[in-house]
Chains A and B, each alone.
Chain A
Amino acid sequence: MTQRRIVVGALAVLAALLPTACATPDSGGGTQTGAAPANRDILRGVLGGYSVGGVNLGAAAGVATSAAEATRDIPEAEEIQLGRGVAAGLLGAAPLTRNVQQQKYVNNVGRWLAANSGRPDLPWRFGIIDAPTVNAFATPGGHVFVTRGLVERTRSEAELAGVLAHEIAHVVQRHHLNDIRKQAGKNLALELASLKSGGLAGEAGRAVARVGLEGLVRGLSRDEELEADRIGVVIAARAGYEPYGLAAVLQTLAATPQDDSAMALFLKTHPSPQDRLAALESTLPASFDALAKPNPALARFDATFVNATPAAAAPAPAATPSTTPAPKPKPKPVPPKPPAAKPAS
């Protein structure tokens, strides 16, 4: 009864706001009226809870008000700010692990992969977050996280690269950005506008983080995940890694008891590892075998993760690995190919 009254009340507020919102379809371009900030707060109050009386108001309002917003291209600078907000929220749930050498290593692998992706010049950031859970996350603008629990289950730099490249593919394809845009609808333009003035730590920053985190909890579509698998494998192969790293990780995860609590959120938000393996097996051409030559130089993974001692957990003096015999002189890396295209039909 009470719930019902709240729903009716909320809908009434929405109805009152909609004409205003619809009257300024170009609000994302910075032509807000003076009344907008007040409306924004009311909207946030109404929509922020996501679900009142079982009705997902945020999504409903998003559909109702976002026709223009959904098709607007979000400038890269705004995408990056938005992603930083979500990343800060994620780090609020689990901080980074403290081993600077390992953090640096993950950034080197990730940045190299990204340099061979369709968006090589984003300000890419990579981090190992301190959770025993198995998962990896990407937020818009190039922020990629992998949990300690997942790193523990990898065997090699190629496997770690397979995981990071999958997340990079989500950023390249703007999967999470599009999801946030859909969910936030009209609100997003308002949030992004006040994000510019208020900064990430302000009210708007917390609001975008909440929408983004909700997306990470809900997960992307099955097609988007399988697409990220395909594109990720290609990114890893283009960067010179053997392309079966992701498949090997999925095989490990397929063998992890699916009722293990460490797997719960990962399994809720992704197709099953068996499913993804089957899709990869039927997609990978035999020609990829030739891309998988043994590479002894990658034994540095063990030095960083397996044989690390407490001493090695202290901040590393040098950013790059010091002494690997220089391979024969190399030409400048060839420019990466254009974005790994969406699969042709």
Chain B
Amino acid sequence: MVGFYTVLLFIFTGAFLVSFTVALSRFFAPTKQYPEKLIPYECGDLPQGDAWIQFNNRFYIVALIFLIFDVEVMFLFPWAVVFNDMGLLAFVEMFIFIVVLLVGYAYVWVKGDLDWIKPKPRLEHLAKGKGE
């Protein structure tokens, strides 16, 4: 368990170094703040509305798919470690496991949830677009 203790020390040291350096920069850096400087950057114009916007649900679906696969990968790692010792039995068992997941993968694929929204220019809009 010494290794994990070292890892913990790494994390603390890293966090300390970041805070230390940022604090250090306070001694050197100027602070002249005025309202215009604190406006979020929106390409030179005043920001319109809040930036905490409702976001595309595609990201949510990707996150769900990722979760399933990541859990699967977590199961695969211990299996891979003992694979050499167990041979055929391990292979067949994991084969069944993977196939079950691949069926789900195929389902998601066919359902189209792996497709990001492709840019589809609406040509009919282009053609009539005169007045608009």
- The answer to whether A and B interact is no
